Amino acid sequence: MNEYEEWIGRKRRMHDIVSPRLAEHYAVTLDEILAEGPELPGIQWCLSPDALPPADLGRDGHPKTGLFLPKLPLPRRMWASGDLEMTGGLCLGDKVTRTSTITDISFKTGRTGDLGFVTVEHRYAVSGETRINERQMIVYRDDPSPDAPAPTPPQADIWQVVHKAQVKTNPTLLFRYSALTFNGHRIHYDHPYATGVEGYAGLVVHGPLQATWLQNVATTVLGRTPRSFTYRGMAPLICGATAIVEARGNGKELELRVRNGQGNFVTMQASAT
């Protein structure tokens, strides 16, 4: 770990605005799942994206590690989990400063091999006032072994839901969200790469898009922006499936999930208060 200690505490500050174009394109991409009101839950993940020249991109289309994020000896990147504390959401016209800090780097060995974890904390502020504090976990892993069996995704139990929405995933949806976030990760648009290199069953629906669905459903049920929101990816959601976005709870504390309507397994789970 000594070679990674110098990365801990590394900061980056970026600025962006919730412009009319961004807000409009965000709304039509989310369509009917977008919560009503002036705040735009989840739009923080569309702000201040990395924009680097081709020479600074890795094989997967992401910025190369070793620039802001540390260069780990593992090639596959996954947007794994995170938690947010919010005093309010972001609205049209907000000028947002995002301060990102690397707070932890760790390694462990799991059932599928070696894993590297990078924790990044993001602070989103408007006029110097913090609106969102986020702790994001990024996971790096080895390429899949061609002989390894596919992981078994967690099956969904029966919920008494207070809200349910459906999203029919397709390549156009993935393209639009990649465009909103300037996300070049090839698993979302390059089918041969997604299946032949990273071992997925098809194009992969973005983790932050699923978390955005859940945050909007939470806002709809609570009638306000959640004060806390925690999410965790459970299994890949493959493009072409119908995503079922559900919430259960008492209107103050919610459990939420995205499940694959074809296989009835959970792809992301969350909680909100």
DSSP states along 16-39:
EE--HHHHHHHHHHHGGGSPSSSB
Which pLDDT value is given to residue 1?
A: 57
Domains, the chain, ranges and CATH? 2-272 (3.10.129.10)
The mean per-residue pLDDT over the stretch 193-210 comes to 96
Ramachandran angles phi, psi of 207, nearest 5° = -60, -50
Residue 248: count of CB within 10 angstroms of its CB: 16
Q: Dihedral of CA 268/266/214/182: which sign?
A: positive
| Per-chain mean pLDDT for the chain | 95
Range list of H helices, the chain: 20-30, 171-181, 191-196, 207-222
pLDDT-based confidence at 147, cuts 50/70/90?
Answer: confident
d(CA 56, CA 66): 10
The mean per-residue pLDDT over the stretch 200-220 comes to 98
Q: Are strands 265-272 and 242-249 parallel, antiparallel or unpaired?
A: unpaired
